[in-house]
Amino acid sequence: MRPRGSCRLDSVRRLGPEGGGASTSQGHARTVFRRALEHGNLLVAEPTAKELPPLNLTDALELTMLIARKDPRRHSGVAARWLLRYLEESEDATIDEAAMVASCLAALAGDRHRDAELPLRAVTERATVERGREM
């Protein structure tokens, strides 16, 4: 008989938080990063992103859009790096699509940033799905 309040280790049961949540520091950092993006908190999102493995294209776009809104001085360089990455990951991109994406990225720092976000998210999703089929 076990003393009251003691627990038995069961090699079959999974150790960690209830519900299978991530217990690694990377799992926690990813949650913090996503929440910072949702709340528009660049001061938390950017340093937290550096703690994570390289961001996927979608998360990199979300961070690029946040930088455009919160730190427009840096927007041009960050947007250019995202465009380069997009073109590298989207092998089927045409010059017309590249021009459209570049225009939307440029618009992120202006009054029409919300109008630019939707097409950028759409091309990013398509590129991500296409890349997933290749792997």
Q: Could you read off the pLDDT tens digit of each residue along the chain, which spans 135 residues?
A: 444 544 443 333 333 344 344 445 557 999 999 999 999 999 999 999 999 999 999 999 999 999 999 999 999 999 999 999 999 999 889 999 999 999 999 999 999 899 999 999 999 999 998 777 665
Would the pTM count as exceeding 0.75? yes
77 is a domain residue: yes
59 is a domain residue: yes
132 is a domain residue: yes
Whole-angstrom distance, CA of residue 122 vs CA of residue 79: 16
- Six token digits for residue 105: 């990225």
Based on the domain organization, do 68 and 127 belong to the same domain?
A: yes
11 is a domain residue: no
Please list, in sequence order, all residues whose beta carbon lies within 8 angstroms of the beta carbon of residue 58, skipping any fewer than 6 positions away.
121, 124, 125, 128
Based on the domain organization, do 126 and 71 belong to the same domain?
A: yes
Based on the domain organization, do 69 and 40 belong to the same domain?
A: no
What's the angle, vertex CA 56, arms to CA 51 and CA 62, rounded to 5? 85
**Are 33 and 49 in contact, with CB atoms under 8 Å apart?**
yes
Based on the domain organization, do 71 and 109 belong to the same domain?
A: yes
